[in-house]
Structure 1
Amino acid sequence: MLPWSADLAGRIDHHTVDSALLRGNPLGDPARRPLWVYVPPGYDDDPARRYPVVYVIQGFTGHLAMWANRTPFRQPFPELADAVFARGDVPPAIVVYVDAWTSLGGSQYLDSPGTGRYHSHLCEEIVPWVDAHYRTVPERDRRAITGKSSGGYGAMVTSMLRPDLFGAFATHAGDALFEACYQVEFPARARALRDHYEGSYEAFLADFRSRVAGTRPSDMGLIETYAYASAYSADDDGTVRIPFDVNGAVRPEVWERWLVWDPVRMAARPAYAEALASMRAVWIDAGTRDEWYLDLGATAFHEAVTAAGLPADRVRFELFDAGHMAIEYRYPLALAWLCERLAG
């Protein structure tokens, strides 16, 4: 595998969107966001043809430019996605790469007084912008969303919250079954705060922002949990509530606020179950060795989707031999499967 960028059969247009909804966000993060839009081969040849759209969102710490990162012996996903359409045996689609980065590492694609209005930004600004500037089929049954890890979480939750916009989704090792993927980490977080910051998240944040990130072993775990708390349990005034005490024990009143956003539990509520049952296609997968036990979350969410009444022929569920990282080779499989169903 050559280490240089490959020529695409389609093309990627680079844009910047000035978001009114992100302006003045609590973290002071930029309101102007990059947006990449891929159009498949042949898009410019037939000005009358319209296309389904697949929105791609990233995991925790992801930002748009990272899609261009190259690792040895592998291609980045935009090239893998282009190859799906270059073969000519998959119905073509527009693929939109969305940026929802925050200075905490991510937004979980939710509206929160701790981070900003990232769910609304995606649904009320990015989707209409793409429909206005490209020849899309502007219907929910021709629109899908896909992502991995926190991006997989965003795909699940966004589809349940806005089934009027998205009629299909794929989640690769998406955050789900919160007691398995999040709660087990709380004692380690409490120990790190105790040993280095006298139990204070405020002291950690001040230190983290004063030096190169990641230079202490506890950095990424602590900022990750704080970012989730900012998305799931921030008060209206922006105060972020941590779901565990100094000993790592759960604070029930805060933990319950997290559980409200667990996709497995959301899927059991009537409105969200109805949304899931209406989907044209749902892809769920995870590695059997996932370090955050998101294979268990994937299994539990698959069970919840089935219980919601989605017919089996609209669901693809698979556990495969891998961990959580370096599973980008799964993304084009889901992309092709979604595009076949969006075209049907």
Structure 2
Amino acid sequence: MLPWSSPLAGRFEELVVDSAALRGNPLGDPHERPLLVYLPPGYDEDEAKRYPTVYVAQGYTGHIAMWWNRVPFRTPYPELADAMFARGEAPPAIVVYFDAWTSLGGSQFLDSPGTGQYHTYLCDEVVPFVDGRFRTLAARDHRAITGKSSGGYGAMVTAMLRPDVFGALATHAGDALFDVCHRAEFPRCARQLRDRAGGSYETFLEEFRQRSIPREGDIELLEMYAYAAAYSAEPDGRVLMPFDANGQVVPEVWQRWLACDPVVMAGQEQYAEALRSMRGIWIDAGRRDEYYLDLGASAFLDRVLAAGVQQQQVYFELFDAGHGGIEYRYPLALAWLCERLQG
């Protein structure tokens, strides 16, 4: 736990993906995106050996440089993962840290006219880019996606939407059970929007973009808008909010959000079939999660099992923690996934 970086047993390659899918996106965000690819110990010694691949999705406001953020007495995840491979606690794998940040703070890893084609970018551009440059086992049974919070959401929905690309997933406190984790926030957001921007998101966004440092409450309002941009944007890019000026639900917009809820999706046969095809599904959360994503995890587990996924395909745990500071859980899921991606 030194306050500076430790020597790595494996190594990283830093690349840039020039994305056709993100070119001309509605937010004007860059279409050239950074990519970090971790190559495990031994990768350079045996030029014939191929490896399974695990893709890592970040939570809301996450961007790729933040993987190296270092706080006292804690080790960044890339170093935790490298140490795990160095100790031989998991079969070696290539780990891909990709970027899906937007100027709203996140994309939810979906295609949306409000943010851009981030689902297409990941599945149809980033994955082939990595397979074309590194010695991967280039098949869905040897490829997984993992993430925490909004990244956990991305892991769940991406695996359900594209089981041809990903054959396993891990979600740490992923956004799920929207009735519980999101709906209760609507009155709070409506009140803040009223008091700070006259009830207008357009006013709030204009003022936010002019500030050099976010004010208290900015990120909470921006986060809700970012979700709406992902879940309920119109074809022309106009973003519809799921609540009115009094914080009451707008039913027709809320239904669009619910259609994106992993718990709701898992109850539909097309996605249930995708879940049944997974080689492994890891679900965990802190039992004191401030956003009640422990309840979302339990609800997703219930739907996964109801879909016919065999118990031996699933790992589930509620552990003693809140929402933050759970990076020590990520290598546990990574090792579990790597075991299931072999062969």
For the criterion TM > 0.5, the same-fold answer is: yes
Q: Which residue in 2 is equivalent to 1:69?
A: 69
1:342 partner amino acid: L
State the distance in 1 between where 2:41 and 2:2 align: 23
- Following superposition, the deviation at residue 204 of structure 1 comes to 0.5
Q: Which residue in 2 is equivalent to 1:223?
A: 222
State the distance in 2 between where 1:227 and 1:335 align: 28
For these two proteins, the number of residue pairs brought into alignment is: 343
Q: Which residue in 2 is equivalent to 1:268?
A: 267
Q: Which residue in 2 is equivalent to 1:156?
A: 156
- Following superposition, the deviation at residue 214 of structure 1 comes to 2.2
- Following superposition, the deviation at residue 198 of structure 1 comes to 1.1
- Following superposition, the deviation at residue 47 of structure 1 comes to 0.6
- Following superposition, the deviation at residue 212 of structure 1 comes to 2.5
- Following superposition, the deviation at residue 213 of structure 1 comes to 3.9
Q: Which residue in 1 is equivalent to 2:306?
A: 307
State the distance in 1 between where 2:315 and 2:104 align: 33
Q: Which residue in 2 is equivalent to 1:166?
A: 166
State the distance in 1 between where 2:271 and 2:17 align: 30
Q: Which residue in 1 is equivalent to 2:281?
A: 282
State the distance in 2 between where 1:331 and 1:287 align: 13
- Following superposition, the deviation at residue 84 of structure 1 comes to 1.3
- After TM superposition, list the pairs within 5 Å mapping 1:288-327 onto structure 2: 288-327=287-326
- After TM superposition, list the pairs within 5 Å mapping 1:212-251 onto structure 2: 212-215=212-215, 217-251=216-250
Q: Which residue in 1 is equivalent to 2:253?
A: 254
The alignment partner of 1:209 has SS state of: helix
- After TM superposition, list the pairs within 5 Å mapping 1:1-344 onto structure 2: 1-215=1-215, 217-344=216-343
- Following superposition, the deviation at residue 35 of structure 1 comes to 0.1
- The question of whether the paired residues in 1 share the 8 Å contact of 2:152 and 2:173 is answered with yes
- The question of whether the paired residues in 2 share the 8 Å contact of 1:213 and 1:219 is answered with no
* RMSD of Structure 2 on Structure 1 (CA): 0.6
The alignment partner of 2:7 has SS state of: coil
- The question of whether the paired residues in 2 share the 8 Å contact of 1:153 and 1:171 is answered with yes
State the distance in 2 between where 1:89 and 1:16 align: 30
2:70 partner amino acid: R
- Following superposition, the deviation at residue 88 of structure 1 comes to 1.8
State the distance in 1 between where 2:51 and 2:197 align: 52
1:323 partner amino acid: G
1:128 partner amino acid: P
State the distance in 1 between where 2:242 and 2:273 align: 30
- The question of whether the paired residues in 1 share the 8 Å contact of 2:53 and 2:94 is answered with yes
Gap regions ≥5 residues in structure 2:
none
Segments of 4+ moved more than 4 angstroms: none
- Following superposition, the deviation at residue 186 of structure 1 comes to 0.3
- Following superposition, the deviation at residue 197 of structure 1 comes to 1.1
1:193-229 CA-to-partner distances (Å, cap 9, x unmatched) read 11111111111111111112422x2201100000000
- The question of whether the paired residues in 1 share the 8 Å contact of 2:89 and 2:335 is answered with no
